[in-house]
A and B are shown apart, each in its own frame.
Chain A
Amino acid sequence: MCARDGLVPALQAIVGPEALLAEEAAAPYAIEGVAPKAVVFPEEEAQVAEVLRVADAHGASVFPRGGGSHMDLGYPPVQVDVVLCLERLSRHLAYVPADLTTTVQAGMRLADLQQRLRQEGQFLALDPPARELTTLGGMVAANLSGPRRLLYGTARDMVLGTAVITVEGKRAKAGGRVVKNVTGYDLNKLYIGSLGTLAVIVELTFKLYPLPPGEHTVGIAVAHHKDLLPILQALRQTPLRLNSLELLNGAAIDFLAARSGVPAPQTPYLVLARVEGTPAVTRQQQEKIATALRRLPLHRSCQLLTWEPAQQGRLWQEIEEFPSSVYAQAPQSAVCKVSVLMSALPALFATLQEAEGHAGQGWPALAHAGSGIAYVSLTAPPLADPVAELVQQLHAFDRQVTALGGYRVLLHAPVAVKQRCQVWGPPRDDFPLMQALKAAFDPRRRLNPGRFIGGL
């Protein structure tokens, strides 16, 4: 008799029959094609703790799930026993607008929170993909971000407090509800981006910002890759309230234009700069940008573009979604997140240009340029064996990224591709500490086992 026998009834005793799915009903919650034995929907923290304890006792693996938008992140699981859905833990626990902070349960959706905050003229300054679906806990566990990170940062700059449930069912909090706090170790940082491998996040407190009075986007069509760095640098050095600075290649421009219905120029590269302020202030910044660019000695002249406000909105929505949507439209592809220095982006984009020649089709690439974060979609040429081809391309791509001093994470790819490469890149000299932390939190490897860096 296997230790996992009796797992489903034991879980049912905790959450009740209406909050548990098993057998066929659990199939839609498969992770990378592996169906779970049970899916549970606890409504209370105490149930989360109980589920974890019972799963641990049964030797069952547990996969926390928020909105389900990024469940493919990481190595494909070998066996999935319990999918722990946090979506019913969705209460908005505290919000004092004048404090610019708010506390939520982890299963609350980002979109629902933003809607509430908007009523007070505030927002959580994170704009990740899957904005409608993602829960705050999932967003933090996966450390998702978007273009506004240039000005506002990422989850590590906004999470003030965290409460987690550990695999033995302990509730532990870190940080607090105030904007500045060094009371105790900053375990918030440990949980952010830990992909649910250490503990299950159940509560979060965020720092908020006032909504900017307005935004305006300037597009710059660039013909020569040698002009990219001077332009990016000029935009970063010009005094602007710049919240996003994006770089797109031709294939990404076509892709986004088609999805958003916003007309885009035929150009090898497009730089997008989004500034904040009242209409008068954004207009003045737009002029500053034009003046700064006019002064640059460029190889080829660049062309300035603007769009109607509604078009700008659609364009940015598609930019935010890019890492997810570009995969959805080409399942035989490998979407990578690359981190390099801003100065290495032109070289990165140039290598993509060359690679396109080999593969015979465009590889869409979009970078949050000011932050040095690029999303690149590698695709296999038609008729080739896609898995073998993608694996080979990834290896070649990795060599280029490494030569540029950067890191590559494989966000989305077919299971067979992920099984044949290092999803999080090679572990580094800090890996033994990561292993020791994993062992300290989850010694029996129940939580998302094998999915994170180095197979943690």
Chain B
Amino acid sequence: MDKARLVSELAAIVPAPIVTAPEELLVYECDGNTLDKAQPDVVVFPTTSEQVAAIVRLANQYQVPFVARGAGTGLSGGALALHGGIIIEMCRMNKIWEVDYVNQRAVVGPGLVNLHLSLAVADAGYFYAPDPSSQGSCTIGGNVAENSGGPHTLKYGVTTNHVLGLEVVLPNGDLVHFGGATLDTPGYDLTGLFVGSEGTFGIATKVTVQLLRKPEAVKTILAAFATVADASNAVSGIIGAGLIPGALEMMDHLTIQAVEAFTGAGLPLDAGAVLLIELDGIAEGMEEDAARVVAICQQHGCRQVRVAKDEAERALLWKGRKQAFGAMGRLSPNYYTHDGVIPRTRLPEALERIQAIGKKYGLRIANVFHAGDGNLHPLVLYDERNPEEVTRVMQAGEEILRTCVELGGALTGEHGIGMEKRDCMPWLFTEDDLEIMHRVRQVFNPHQLCNPGKVSTPARQVPLWRGDP
């Protein structure tokens, strides 16, 4: 099978452009995790479900691997064409097909940018709850594939809790429908099974989601602590008191430095850690709950509390949190993001051990994470021009993940396994656990052409596809 023929047959299916020039393909050789790289042979931009199905059928005909890609903000190497072949870039399928406010539903194309959905329904008083920090660029399809979370998932849940139905092109090219706008569709919950399958069960071409009513009242509190341990104990205290804030985020000392330099929001530069706590819901009882939160923080040594006076101040505080990853650029040329999860009561211990790991490997580690969920994001700072340092970064990362597993947690809370943590799966799962996962994958993706090499080592290794030039 030669590449020119593949490209010309693709051209009969999808509108231009079709990307094949090596320098243009560079953009597609990695996602948000820049340590792993692999180049596709060709990138196409379909505009309809039928085109996606036709591409997939063609790929099957010639046994060419294919990978869907949204915005490429993934952090586990999910959208890499590890075995070469076709990248199916979904960004043009970004239409909002239907919004039904009475029933609080929307049907959207998978290429729609997450934030664009919330913006489209904001005036009517609604929002789409899952809010990854990358929501200004990541796509709903990518969110579905990764089962993405975000700061507000403590209260509202992650993507899977908000996706009700899917139109999917299966790895054999069949177009099928899972779930729908109504709940409890009879039969196996294939919608739930598909969400979080990291692009290995097929390509979502339409997504039915639920919309929520915007909360009547919001209170955003910034609480500063001398140490990470104090802040962690405050987190346990808040949850333990039966309060479930909309968001409960932590930034440690190093993160505060980076974020403050970036936003000038007035974060206390001398604090060991800050908590960004957002209560939302009905106005009734909000003041009382806020007072309880503040009291609990103070019991755990909180030195300073700031309550956002207005929407502008709230936005400023959130800007720092949501762009914390980007702000790391001020501290270091590169950073490696981990995503381990632990039971929230183990936070103080986990953070202490992460600091020790940083020391051991001579690396700076900044922590900015979803504390209420126990979802850590240690950012290991490094310079990619220093290969020896990169090795230490990988070693430290492995040790961090092993710590999470030891503490009763998991490898990833929201970024996915991808290719990045594929080889760590046996730390958590037995051979039998993994064999069952393979079985399910085999049902959807029997020839392993759809995003090969991700999540777990496939039963059948797909050879690297390189069309004759």
Which residues of the other chain, A, contact B192 by a CB distance below 8 angstroms?
156, 186, 188-190, 192
In the complex, which of the residues B185, B345, B430, B433 contacts A98, with contact meaning CB atoms closer than 8 Å?
A: B345
Residue of A nearest to B161 (CB): A157
- Assess whether B188 is in contact with A186, with CB atoms less than 8 Å apart: no
Chain A residue, CB-CB nearest to B440: A185
Q: Given A182-B146, A339-B184, A342-B103, answer yes or no on A189-B193 (Cβ-Cβ < 8 Å).
A: yes
Contacts of B412 in A (CB 8 A): 181-183
Closest CB of chain B to A430's CB: distance in Å?
Answer: 5
Whether A179 contacts B373 by the Cβ 8 Å rule is: yes
CB contact list, B280-331 vs A, under 8 A: 281-285, 288
Is the beta-carbon distance between B283 and A239 smaller than 8 angstroms? yes
Our pick among A153, A210, A405 for the contact of B242 (Cβ within 8 Å) is: A210
Q: Are B285 and A277 in contact (CB under 8 A)?
A: yes
Q: Mark B181-214, 1 if CB is under 8 A from A, else 0.
A: 1111111111111011100000000000000010
B189 touches A189 (CB 8 A): yes
Task: Tell yes or no: A381 within 8 A of B by CB.
Answer: no
- Chain A residues, CB < 8 A from B176: 429-430, 433
B102 & A174 in contact (Cβ 8 Å cutoff): no
Q: Which of A48-83 contact B (CB under 8 A)?
A: none
A340 to B183, CA, bound (A): 8
B residues 326-365 touching A (CB-CB < 8 Å): 341-345
- B439 pairs with A178, CB closer than 8 A: no
A421 sits at the interface (CB 8 A): no
Number of interface residues of B (CB under 8 A): 88
The stretch from B14-22, B43-51, B221-229, B403-411 touching chain A is: B403-411
Contact with B along A156-180 (1 / 0, CB 8 A): 1100000000100011111011111
Interface pair B440/A434, CB less than 8 Å apart:
no
A373 to B103 alpha-carbon distance, docked (Å): 13
Q: Given A182-B147, A182-B417, A372 and B183 touching (CB < 8 A)?
A: yes
Report how far A281 CA is from B434 CA in the complex, Å: 48
Tell whether, in the assembled complex, residue A434 and residue B187 are in contact, meaning their CB atoms are under 8 Å apart.
yes
Give A405 to B181 CA distance when docked, in angstroms. 9
Instruction: Say yes or no: is A99 at the interface (Cβ < 8 Å to chain B).
Output: yes
User: Given A98-B344, A186-B195, A193–B433 Cβ distance below 8 Å?
Assistant: no
B84 CB-CB contact with A under 8 Å: no
Interface string of A104-138 (1 = CB under 8 A from B): 00000000000000000110000000000000000
Q: Is the CB of A340 within 8 A of B160?
A: no
Could you tell me how many residues of chain A have their Cβ less than 8 Å away from some Cβ of chain B?
A: 84
Q: Is B456 an interface residue when CB atoms closer than 8 A count as contact?
A: yes
A45 to chain B, nearest CB (A): 13
Q: Of the candidates B104, B213, B370, B435, which one forms a contact with A239 in the assembled complex, judged by CB atoms under 8 Å apart?
A: B213
Interfacial chain B residues near A99, Cβ < 8 Å: 343-345, 374
Residue of B nearest to A186 (CB): B196
Q: Does B244 contact A (CB under 8 A)?
A: yes
B457 to chain A, nearest CB (A): 13
Tell me, in angstroms, the Cα distance from A437 to B193 when the chains sit together. 11
The reply on B240 being an interface residue by CB < 8 A is yes
Asked if B414 is at the interface of the complex by the 8 Å CB criterion, the answer is yes
Contacts of A409 in B (CB 8 A): 186
Interface presence of A416 (CB below 8 A): no
Chain A residue with the shortest CB-CB distance to B190: A430
Option from B185, B187, B425, B444 in Cβ contact (under 8 Å) with A184: B425
B-contacting residues of A (Cβ < 8 Å)? 96-101, 121-122, 143, 145, 153-154, 156-157, 166, 170-174, 176-190, 192-194, 198, 209-211, 229, 233, 236-237, 239-241, 277-278, 280-281, 284-285, 337, 339-343, 371-373, 405-407, 409, 424-425, 427-431, 433-434, 436-437, 440-441, 452-454
Besides A187-B437, A440-B443, 20 new A-B residue pairs in contact (Cβ under 8 A), listed by A number: A99-B343, A99-B374, A156-B160, A170-B435, A173-B429, A177-B343, A180-B158, A182-B146, A182-B414, A182-B416, A183-B421, A185-B437, A236-B213, A239-B216, A240-B282, A341-B105, A405-B181, A434-B188, A436-B443, A440-B439
A-B pairs with lowest CB-CB distance, top 6: A189-B192, A210-B242, A239-B216, A172-B436, A281-B285, A339-B182
